[in-house]
């Protein structure tokens, strides 16, 4: 996963059994996975049948990454420490490449001791003041630790922490020997607030599992047990659990229903089922009746209007340019005519789409 142009200088004396010396390595145009790094510098020595890393430095720009450690030739003794304090999130290539406005600070502390076959790992990942595209997500923190070794083999690394000002709590395990991970989470509230909507309840559970390096085999499952939104004078709630399942790049939406209510009066429902391949195709079926005033429209004149939109449509095809087949029926819709003081009211009709 580490790529770039590297050069190595070393001076070694002694014997093959007991070499002694020093080494220096530099790297330019360095990338770790998809992250661009500043020039890499390594310096260390070889003595007492041990390779010592006295200094490792690189970074992301303003953010600095430093490390040091040692490893015995027979692999029985290992020590490594990596520190990356207060790296600006905006310097992470993953956000910059997607033109996501990001701010906040990421700090990483990682320690490994023990042996190569049974490393004891501990660490902490912390993100402070995270904002993405003007949405405040707050602080997140994850702790990593191995409990010990079992017969010369390390126990899985335990993962525990919280995301987005404790909106989501996480726990799980990472088995380095099997290269597998499984993390479960409890969702207590929504980490973000959509425009012109208020989230009153947002609870559920999530599971993330897979194998290191195998993005295609990764699975993310989310089940929302409670979802309640308010938009204008309407309340929007789930009827039954909302289940999302993502395997690799394919997101599946199990049949679910959102119910609309105005006070104690039922005011429509929307049913959704289907799937989205983030790398290509989309296939979603939408059916239901939506109050116009519940839509998060920017104009208060539209939000104050009445009427319903009845949807029976299939959205399919390429994700970036999907096709729409079906119909949208307007019933009793009212809205202002731009540039005049007049309003259309009691508008009825059908818009049919063919693909």
**Which sequence spans correspond to the domains of the chain?**
1-146
- Is residue 231 within 8 Å of residue 295, measured between CB atoms? yes
Band the pLDDT of 73: cuts 50, 70, 90.
Answer: very high
Give the span between the Cα atoms of 124 and 109, in whole angstroms. 5
Q: Are 80 and 72 in contact (CB under 8 A)?
A: no
Summarised one tens digit per residue, pLDDT across range 192-206 is 877 778 899 999 999
pTM, full prediction: 0.81
**Looking at residues 33-55, what average pLDDT do you find?**
94
- Residue 142: closest CA among 158, 125, 129, 127: 125
Yes or no: say if 113 and 107 are a contact pair by the CB < 8 Å rule: no
Residue 305's pLDDT is what? Answer: 64
Q: Are 52 and 45 in contact (CB under 8 A)?
A: yes
Who has greater pLDDT, 260 or 32? Answer: 260
Please tell me the distance from the alpha carbon of residue 259 to that of residue 290, in angstroms, as a whole number.
9
| 94-103, 251-260, 265-274: range with lowest mean pLDDT | 94-103
pLDDT, position 304: 63
Question: What is the average pLDDT score of the chain?
Answer: 88
Q: What is the pLDDT of residues 214-265, one digit of tens each?
A: 888 899 999 999 999 988 888 999 999 999 999 988 999 999 999 999 888 9
Residues in the chain: 355
CA distance linking residue 22 with residue 239, whole number of Å: 67
**Is 302 a residue whose pLDDT tops 80?**
no
């Amino acid at each position: 996963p580490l790529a770039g142009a590297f050069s190595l200088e070393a001076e070694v004396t002694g014997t093959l059994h007991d070499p002694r010396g020093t080494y220096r390595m530099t790297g330019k145009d360095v990338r770790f996975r998809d992250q661009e790094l500043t020039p890499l510098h390594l310096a260390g020595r070889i003595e007492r049948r041990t390779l010592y890393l006295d200094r490792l430095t690189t970074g992301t720009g303003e953010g600095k990454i430093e490390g040091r450690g040692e490893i015995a030739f027979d692999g029985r003794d290992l020590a490594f420490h990596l520190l990356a304090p207060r790296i600006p999130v905006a310097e992470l290539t993953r956000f910059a490449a997607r033109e996501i406005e990001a701010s906040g600070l990421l700090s990483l502390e990682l320690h490994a001791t023990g042996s190569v076959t049974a490393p004891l790992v501990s660490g902490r990942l912390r993100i402070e003041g995270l904002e993405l595209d003007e949405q405040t997500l707050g602080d997140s923190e994850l702790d990593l630790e191995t409990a010990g070794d079992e017969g010369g083999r390390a126990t899985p690394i335990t993962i525990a922490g919280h995301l987005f000002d404790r909106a989501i709590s996480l726990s799980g395990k990472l088995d380095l020997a099997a290269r597998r991970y499984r993390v479960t989470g409890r969702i207590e509230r929504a980490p973000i607030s959509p425009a012109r909507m208020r989230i009153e309840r947002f609870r559920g559970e999530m599971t993330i599992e897979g194998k290191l390096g195998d993005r295609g085999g990764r699975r993310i499952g989310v089940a929302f047990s409670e979802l309640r939104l308010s938009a204008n004078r309407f309340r929007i709630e789930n009827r039954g659990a909302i289940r999302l399942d993502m395997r690799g790049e394919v997101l599946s939406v199990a049949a679910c229903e959102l119910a609309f209510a105005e006070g104690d009066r039922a005011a429509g429902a929307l049913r959704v089922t289907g799937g989205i391949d983030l790398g290509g195709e989309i296939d979603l079926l939408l059916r239901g009746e939506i109050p116009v005033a519940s839509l998060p429209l920017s104009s208060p004149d539209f939000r104050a209007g009445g009427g319903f939109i009845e949807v029976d449509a299939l959205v399919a095809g390429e994700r970036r340019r999907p096709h729409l087949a079906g119909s949208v029926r307007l019933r009793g819709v009212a809205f202002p005519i731009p540039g005049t003081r007049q309003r259309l009211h009691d508008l009825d009709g059908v818009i049919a789409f063919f693909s």
